[in-house]
Chain A
C-alpha cells in the first residue's frame, strides 16, 4: 500500500469494523430502554392477572389487607399508609437536618474541614440499607422503648429514624450544590444593605436556591418510599391504617419482600399481588422523580 492510498482510502475491513462497533455499542445503550420496558412489562403483565380477580377499585380504595389468609382482602391502603407514615416521618427529621448540613458545608465550614466533611457525610449514603435495619432493631428501638415504654418491638418510628439518616446525604449534597450555584453578587448586594450572614443565607440564598432544595426533598421522599431492607427489619409486618408511629406497620416494599421470602407458588394470587403492589410503588417513585426533574427544569434560574 503506497502512502497516498493510506491517507485517501479506508479499507473495507475498516469500514466494516466501524459499523460493527457502532452497532454493538448502540445495542448496549439500547439495553437501558429494554430494561425499562422489561420492568413495565413484568409489572403490568402480572398485575393484569391480579386485577382480573380483584377489582381495581377494591384494590386502590380497600382498607383491609389480608392476602395470605381466608377471607382474603386486597385493599392496598394499609400498605400505602405504612409507607407514607414511615417516609413522611423520615422527612420530618431529614429535611431540617439535611438543609442545615448543606448550609454549614456550603457557607460556614472552611479550609480542610470543609474538604473532609463532605466525603465523611457521604459515607452515610454508602452504608447498605440492611446495616441501617440492624441499627434500627438493635439500637433505636430499645432507645425508643426507654423513652416511651409502649413502643412495640417492630415500629414505624425506628424505621423513620434510620431512613432519615440514610437520605440525609442525598438532601445535603443536592442542597449544597444549589446553594453554591447562587452567585456572589446576590450575597454582596444583601451584605451592602446591612444584612447579617444568617439573614443573607435565609432570606436571599435559600429562596434563590429553592428549586434545587425542593428537588432534593422530593428525591429523598422517593428514596424513602422505595427503601426495603431497613423497613422490613424495623417496621414489622402488620398492615394497618394508623398514624401512631410506635406500633408496627407494613410498608409496600416490606410486603413484597415478605411474600418473596416465603414459598409462594408462581401463578397464585399472592404471587400476582406483589406485582400489583410493585406497579403502584413504581408509579409512585416515577411520579416523584418526574416531579423533581420538572421542578429543576421549570424553576431553576440561570445566573451568569
Chain B
C-alpha cells in the first residue's frame, strides 16, 4: 500500500512541506500522529462521507420506488368507474365512491371541530392565560397527548362517543375522535404562529384602548392566520390518512352507500385501502394502489397549499 495509490483514489495529495512540518509541529510525537495517520484519516473521511451520502440516497430511492410502484400498479385501475362504483366482491366492479364521500364528510367535520378547539386553546394559552397550576396541567396534557398512539384515541372514541354518548359508529363519532387526535398538533402549530406575531402590534392596540380580546381578535389573530392555516392543513392531512382510530370505532364494514347525515355509518379512504390490501388476491392489491393514488393526490394538494402559504407568508414578513 503506497501513498501514491491512495492519493489517486481519494483526491489531490496534500503533503506537508518540510518547512510546514518544522513550524507547525515541533515534537516528534505530534508529527507522528498527524503525518503517519494522515492516510488512514483520509480513507476514514472518504468512507464516512460516502456512507452519509449513501444513507440519504437510500431514503430518496425508497421514496421514489414507493411512489413509482404505486403509480405503476394503480394507474390502470384509475378509470371513471373507480370513482362512481361502490366496493364490491368482484375487483373489476369495485369502486372507491363511498370511501371518498366518507373521507370528505369526516374531513369537513374534523376541520370545524379541530380548528375551533385547537385555535381557541392556543389563543387562550398563548395570549390570555396567566401562569397558574391549571395552565401547567393543560401544557402537560398537550405534551402527553401529542405522543399518544392513534389507536388509543380510537379506544377513547369507542368508549366516549360510540358508547357513552350513544352516537354509534357514525360520521360524527369518527370526526370527533379525529379532532381530538389532531388537536395537539394544531395547538402547537397555532401557538408557534401566535408567538411569531411581534409584540409591537399588541402594544399598539392596547395603546389605542383596545381590550385584550379586541386586540387578539382584530390584530393578533389576522397576523397569525397564515401560520395557523399552515398548521391546520398539515394536521388535516394527517387526519385524512389515519385508519387505526376509525377501525377501533368499528368503521371497517361493507358500506355501499354515501353518508347523508352525520349519524350515518361510513367508510373512509384509508379503511377501504386497508380492506383491499388485506385480501390475498393480487387484483385487490392493485385496487388498493389505485386508492392510494387518490389518497396521496389529496395529501399532495394539502401539502402544496401549506408550502405556498408558508412561502408567501415568509416573503411578507419584514
Contact = CB atoms under 8 A, between A and B. Distances in A.
**Do they bind each other?**
yes
Interface of A: 7, 10, 14, 17-18, 21-22, 24-26, 28-33, 35-36, 38-39, 42-43, 45-46, 96-101, 103-105, 108-109, 117, 119-121, 123-124, 126-131, 133-135, 137-139, 165, 168, 172, 194, 196-199, 201-202, 219, 222, 225-229, 232-233, 253, 256-257, 260-261, 266, 274-275, 278, 281-282, 285-286, 288-289, 293
Interface residues of B, number: 88
A42 B160 contact: yes
The A interface, classified by DSSP as helix, strand, loop or mixed, is helix
B56 A105 contact: yes
Nearest to A21: B213
B158 A133 contact: no
A226 B151 contact: yes
B288 A134 contact: yes
Interface stretch (B76-84, B87-95, B180-188, B256-264): B180-188
A290 to B, nearest CB: 8
A22 B138 contact: no
B225 interface: no
A143 B259 CA distance: 40
B59 A127 contact: no
A128 B247 contact: no
A130 B53 contact: no
A287 to B, nearest CB: 10
Contacts of A256: 151, 155, 248
A97 B145 contact: no
Contacts of B183: 31-32, 35
A259 to B, nearest CB: 10
A127 B66 contact: yes
B303 interface: yes
Given A25-B128, A126-B237, 20 more contacts: A24-B120, A36-B141, A39-B148, A108-B53, A126-B299, A126-B303, A127-B299, A133-B274, A133-B277, A138-B69, A138-B73, A139-B65, A165-B66, A196-B41, A197-B49, A226-B151, A226-B152, A233-B277, A260-B250, A275-B155
Contacts of A293: 143
Interface in B28-53: 34, 41-42, 44-45, 48-49, 51-53
Give the 5 A-B CB pairs with smallest separation, nearest first.
Answer: A226-B149, A128-B241, A100-B55, A28-B120, A289-B147
A100 B56 contact: yes
12 contacts: A35-B180, A121-B60, A130-B270, A138-B289, A172-B59, A196-B42, A197-B45, A197-B49, A202-B48, A227-B149, A229-B274, A260-B250
Contacts of A29: 120-121, 124-125, 129, 138
A49 B42 CA distance: 65
A211 B310 CA distance: 30
